[in-house]
Amino acid sequence: MRYFSIESSQMRRMAQFLLALVLGLALLTWAASSVVRTTAQEWFERDVNSRARLALAGARPSLAAAWNGDPGALRAQIVALNRDERVMGVALCNADFTVRASTPGFPEAFGCWAVGSRVRGEDGWSSVATLPTGRASVNAVPVEELGFAVLVQDLSYIERRESQAQTILLVTFALLAALALGVPMFVARWVRSGRRAELRKVRMEMEEQPEDSSLQWNAERLKRTLNRHLHGEKIVILSNREPYLHVRKADGSIEVQHPASGLVTALEPVMRACSGTWVAHGAGSADRETVDRFDRVRVPPGEESYDIRRVWLTEEQEQGYYYGFSNEGLWPLCHVAHARPQFRAEDWRQYREVNQKFADAVCDEADSDDPVILVQDYHFALAPAMIRKRLPAATVIVFWHIPWPNAERLGICPWRDELLEGLLGSSILGFHTQLHCNNFFEAVDRYLETRIDREHHAVVRQGHRTLVRPYPISIEWPVRWAETGETAAESRARVFADLGLKPNALLGVGVDRLDYTKGIEERLEAVETLLERYPEFRGRFTFVQLAAPSRTKIERYRLLNESVEKLTERINARFGQDGYSPIVLLRAHHEPPDVFRYFRAADLCYVSSLHDGMNLVAKEFVAARGDLKGVLVLSEFTGAARELTEALIVNPYDMEAASEAMMVALTMPAEEQRDRMRSMRAVITQFNVYRWAGKMLEDAARLRSQERVASRLSARSLVG
Ligand code: ADQ
């Protein structure tokens, strides 16, 4: 996609060169023509003078003979001398400077008195003067002792000839200049229109490929796509979080953990399908012990198909880059969740340093000059430009997993320009929604010198083009964890037993990292409002919150943790009775099979994010419900609300509406539950994570072929 800019800069350079050439030639022509003009003029004048002298010298004896004779014969002689059309006049002057005879039209300025005193010796006198009619040459020779003869010749014809010659020279030069400028420009234009047509074809293919809905995306199709379009190239993924952590347990054994992360949930199945290397921060307590000497470990355990390349960070780096700039700066900046972003210069320095460190690791893992690299999330806004610097031909696909703020909000970040510039190092920049893309365009437009190509959804900066498009993320389908062989009834029985619930109890579930953007406090308050407004649910409805501790070193997260705990205690104190607690807070990381058991056991799942990119929990709940039971209550501020329209969509800030939705969910007839669930499952079946990755990789593949066409054509035109 850099093609057009390279091409136009080449054109610009060529035009500049041609213009300089033409100006140089014009200057040269002017200088040459004035030299030629002066020299030619001198030659002509010398020639005319010598011819005049010859004529006079030749006529001298006969003039002397006739001087004192018949005036008519003397006159006839000077008329004969005057016959040449360029001779303006001839005069014969006596020794006392009086006129002896002259032809009509002899110029007054060269009368006998004016010339006489200058005629000395045998050679006489000659000169060039400017008369009102133009330049003229005058030659005077003595005629023995009798006097002298004067012949005046018109030189204006020399000027006329010179100006004619100069006009011809200039016209010829102008014609040559027009040819020199016009022909290459025409050829370039012609070549460019050819290239455009070819590129338009590729681009149209890229934009208008209809989707074959009968062909569902799955791991196999993704693999095929990769093989067909990218010839099975190895993919390098970069993310902060690794898909598998090795953790040393209290008993000394090493356990493999799946982190609670939407990013990992989405990308792990993609990596299984594609293979390659996943570069990530080695954060597990036993991570160093499980890597080889290249800091690599083969995963998934037991089904090894790709490598994790672990990058180690010092405590200061982790503090500044991860906790500081990423999670106290960018995270609150991108989420409208009322936490004030903290921007510290030291954090920014670490963020830059760590981005460089990861970018270097990615480049080291690349096995070609033009690898396909998937950069994930807000931890690595600078890495794309850093990678591009080392591997200019790489296809860098960035996916931003969280919302992108509007330009005004982004403007408060002291390093907003650097963030935008870093991201524009990518070939494709993906967001969950069109709104986030629009916000990005707005920010780039406001803060950087770029060209926004709205027709093709791209930003062009310094000759590099970045496609900016929505790719709504999703989950694998079918979800591995939903295929455990445990029926929904068995899951429900097990969870009810674990929580000590009565068989007729109603269960709500929330599953999140303990993060203030997820609206966990608002969710608990909505449960309180439900019990307040609908007493029939007291003693019967229990809401279990699975809360994975997250970013616990950050004060805001510690406060949230305390607040959720206090809120739970207060609500339980208010409505709890005889062993019944309306809220069960399970503050721990749960492995996916446990999470899915809770999903299958619940009557409703409430996802109450105050602002979210997509929210995969909502999709996981739907995926877990193969029994077509259960109701999803979903915040309107999630990306998922745009796709899962059969959920009960609520504003999580509106306690009454949220509690009302929970009431509707808990009393919803089984048939309606089935219809809603079926329709949501159909959406996720089709719009699963393989499609998400496939669409991006297909776009990347087309981009690569488009760039290859462009560079082939430009090479051809250079050769031509
Ligand atoms: P997250 O903020 O991590 O993701 P989300 O998309 O909901 O949010 O994914 C959370 C994942 O963690 C889910 O797979 C869930 O099962 C798991 N999880 C949550 N709580 C857990 C617990 N207690 N124990 C174990 N696992 C738990 C970011 C963005 C989202 C975006 C994703 C993917 O914030 O908006 O959808 O990336 O792009």
The answer on pLDDT for 529 being more than 90 is yes
Question: Of all residues in the chain, what percent carry a pLDDT higher than 90?
Answer: 62
**Closest Cα to atom 13, ligand 1: which residue?**
262
Q: How far does residue 603's CA lie from ligand 1's centre (Å)?
A: 21
338 near 352, Cβ under 8 Å?
A: no
**Closest Cα to atom 37, ligand 1: which residue?**
262
Q: How far does residue 266's CA lie from ligand 1's centre (Å)?
A: 9
Question: Of all residues in the chain, what percent carry a pLDDT higher than 70?
Answer: 92
Give residue 185's pLDDT: 62
The answer on pLDDT for 232 being more than 80 is no
The Cβ-side half-sphere exposure at 495, using a 13 Å CA radius, reads: 30
Please report how the helices 488-499 and 592-601 are oriented relative to each other, as an axis angle in degrees rounded to 10: 100
Of 401, 585, 600, 632, which is best to mutate to test ligand 1, by the most ligand atoms within 8 angstroms of its C-beta? 401
Please report how the helices 670-686 and 616-624 are oriented relative to each other, as an axis angle in degrees rounded to 10: 120
Q: Could you tell me which of 80, 81, 79, 130 has the C-alpha nearest to residue 109?
A: 130
The answer on pLDDT for 51 being more than 70 is yes
DSSP one-letter string for 238-250: E-SS-S-EEEE-T
Ligand 1 atom with the shortest distance to the CA of 613:
35
Bridge partners of residue 542, in order along the sequence? 507
**Closest Cα to atom 18, ligand 1: which residue?**
260
Of 237, 398, 436, 511, which is best to mutate to test ligand 1, by the most ligand atoms within 8 angstroms of its C-beta? 511
Residues 202-215: pLDDT tens digits?
Answer: 444 444 455 555 57
Task: Give 13's pLDDT tier (boundaries 50, 70, 90).
Answer: low
For residues 532-545, give the mean pLDDT.
Answer: 98
Q: How far does residue 265's CA lie from ligand 1's centre (Å)?
A: 7
Task: Give 650's pLDDT tier (boundaries 50, 70, 90).
Answer: very high
Ligand 1 atom with the shortest distance to the CA of 607:
7
Residues 316-332: pLDDT tens digits?
Answer: 999 999 999 999 999 99
Give the domains, in start order, of the chain with CATH numbers: 2-159 (3.30.450.20), 219-312+352-470 (3.40.50.2000), 488-687 (3.40.50.2000)
3-state secondary structure at position 298: strand
Q: How far does residue 615's CA lie from ligand 1's centre (Å)?
A: 6
The answer on pLDDT for 660 being more than 50 is yes
Which of the pair, 532 or 139, is modelled with greater confidence? 532
Q: How far does residue 134's CA lie from ligand 1's centre (Å)?
A: 97
**Closest Cα to atom 27, ligand 1: which residue?**
260
Pocket of ligand 1 from Cβ distances under 6 Å: 260-263, 265-266, 401-402, 473, 511-513, 546-548, 589-590, 595, 612-617, 620
